[in-house]
């Protein structure tokens, strides 16, 4: 996989010197403040480096071992087991001697992106952030894995889906890298009816567009975190789930009422491809669009 054909994150390349992409990077999708890549690196030495980004590393496939230089210049052994996670905060990345091949999903988080999320929290954590090695966290693992899959599938589920995952990941990361637990949010009031109607109308008139979470939150006048919670309290669904249902219902009506091609219907309802449309339609209606057309 060449870097000309598939651009790579400079920040991740600096963290994993000499590594190569195993799947498409999220870089081309233009996600705001976050990049996710599956990387592979052979055994060897990686020099000390500095970074101003935060990282989440999901260790995959098999155990990997080596040595890491500490602040005294001495090397200490390490082993990374599949299914564990390392988190890194900005600063010096120590020199590493890897004795075996490494395969990992690496997520780079821009500090401005994280600061924006932290500013919106009701209860901001106060403990200092710290790097962590070899932890287990099903939430972090699941969110990063979903983003990696979305990148590999070239943004199949759309901007709102990726924005929602990235925002949730940012919140979890802010607490995971600190000692204190994430506090349970207080009971949230629902989005006022007139605002809900405005958001739903915006969705209806922009079904073919790649709506972002920031656009919807801005229309409501609330922060992203407040908007998502209030929207869910009002509808029982996340904004992405609600928008997906609107798109699928519009697509079903197009199939019932006309002779447009399924590819045209997919595009006009905001799906990235006919394949992504077919998968979503089948999950929702338990049949494929082509079978549904033949049965009506």
Name the band, by pLDDT with cuts 50, 70 and 90, for residue 234.
Answer: very high
Q: Are 269 and 250 in contact (CB under 8 A)?
A: yes
Q: Which two tokens stand for residue 119?
A: 């500013």
The better pLDDT of the pair 160, 120 is held by: 160
Strand locations in 110-176 (E): 132-135
Tell me how far CA of residue 282 lies from CA of 237, 250, 264, 275, 286, in angstroms: 19, 15, 18, 11, 5
Is it the case that residue 155 has pLDDT exceeding 50?
yes
Partners of 166 in the β-ladder: none
Phi-psi category of residue 46: left, alpha or beta, with phi > 0 → left and psi -120 to 50 → alpha: beta
Contacts of 126 (CB under 8 A, 6+ apart): 180
What is the DSSP secondary structure assignment for residue 124, as one 8-state letter?
-
Highest CATH level, class, for 193-295 = mainly alpha
Q: What is the pTM of this model?
A: 0.84
Classified by CATH at the fold level, domain 10-178 comes out as Jelly Rolls (2.60.120)
Q: What is the pLDDT of residues 13-31, one digit of tens each?
A: 999 988 999 999 999 999 9
Secondary structure letter of residue 255 according to DSSP: H
In the chain, where the domains are located: 10-178, 193-295
- CB burial string 79-100: b at 16+ within 10 A, e below: ebeeebbbbbbeeebbbbbbee
**Angle CA(84)–CA(85)–CA(87) in degrees, nearest 5?**
160
Q: Which of 156, 153, 152 is nearest to 24 (CA)?
A: 152
Phi-psi region of 235 (alpha: psi -120 to 50; beta: other; left: phi over 0): alpha
Half-sphere exposure in the Cβ direction for 20 (13 Å, CA): 8
The mean pLDDT value of the chain amounts to 90
Q: Please say whether the beta carbons of 281 and 245 come within 8 A.
A: no
- Is 186 strand, coil or helix? coil
Q: What span, in angstroms and rounded, lies between the C-alpha atoms of 193 and 207?
A: 21
Q: Residue 186: pLDDT above 70?
A: no
Please list, in sequence order, all residues whose beta carbon lies within 8 angstroms of the beta carbon of residue 97, skipping any fewer than 6 positions away.
44, 45, 46, 66, 67, 68, 75
**Predicted confidence band of residue 74 (pLDDT cuts 50, 70, 90):** confident
Q: What stretch of H or E contains 250?
A: helix 239-257
Judge contact between 140 and 106, C-beta under 8 A: no
Q: Is residue 258 over pLDDT 90? A: no
Rounded Cα distance, 9 and 29, in Å: 12
Can you tell me which residue has the tokens 């990387």? 39
Condensed to tens digits (0 to 9), the pLDDT of residues 164-184 reads: 999 999 999 999 998 655 555
pLDDT of residue 185: 53
Give the sheet arrangement for strand 64-69, strand by strand: 44-46, 96-98, 64-69, 75-80
**Enclosing H/E stretch for 115:** helix 111-120
């Amino acid at each position: 996989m060449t870097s000309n054909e598939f651009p790579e994150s400079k920040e991740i390349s600096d963290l994993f010197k000499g590594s190569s992409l195993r799947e498409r990077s999220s870089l081309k999708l233009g996600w705001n403040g976050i990049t996710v890549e599956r990387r592979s690196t052979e055994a060897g030495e990686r020099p000390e480096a500095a970074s101003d980004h935060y990282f989440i590393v999901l260790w995959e496939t098999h155990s990997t071992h080596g040595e890491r230089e500490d602040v005294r210049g001495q090397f200490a052994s390490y082993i990374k087991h599949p299914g564990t996670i390392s988190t890194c905060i900005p600063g010096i990345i120590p020199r590493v001697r890897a004795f075996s091949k490494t395969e990992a999903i690496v997520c780079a988080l821009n500090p401005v992106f994280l600061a924006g999320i932290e500013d919106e929290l009701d209860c901001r954590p106060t403990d200092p952030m710290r790097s962590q090695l070899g932890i287990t966290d099903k939430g972090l693992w699941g969110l990063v894995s979903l983003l990696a899959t979305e990148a590999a599938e070239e943004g199949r589920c759309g901007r709102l889906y990726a924005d929602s995952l990235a925002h949730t990941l940012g919140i979890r990361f802010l607490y995971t890298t600190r000692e204190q637990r994430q506090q349970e949010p207080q009971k949230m009031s629902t989005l006022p009816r007139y605002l809900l109607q405005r958001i739903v109308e915006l969705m209806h008139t922009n079904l073919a567009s790649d709506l972002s979470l920031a656009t919807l939150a801005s229309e409501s006048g609330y922060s992203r975190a407040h908007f998502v919670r209030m929207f869910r309290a009002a509808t029982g669904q996340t904004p992405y789930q609600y928008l997906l249902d609107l798109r699928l219902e519009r697509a079903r009506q197009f199939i019932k009422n006309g002779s447009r091609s399924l590819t045209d219907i997919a595009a006009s309802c905001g799906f990235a491809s006919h394949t992504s449309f077919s998968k979503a339609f089948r999950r929702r209606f338990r049949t494929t669009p082509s079978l549904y057309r033949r049965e009506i």
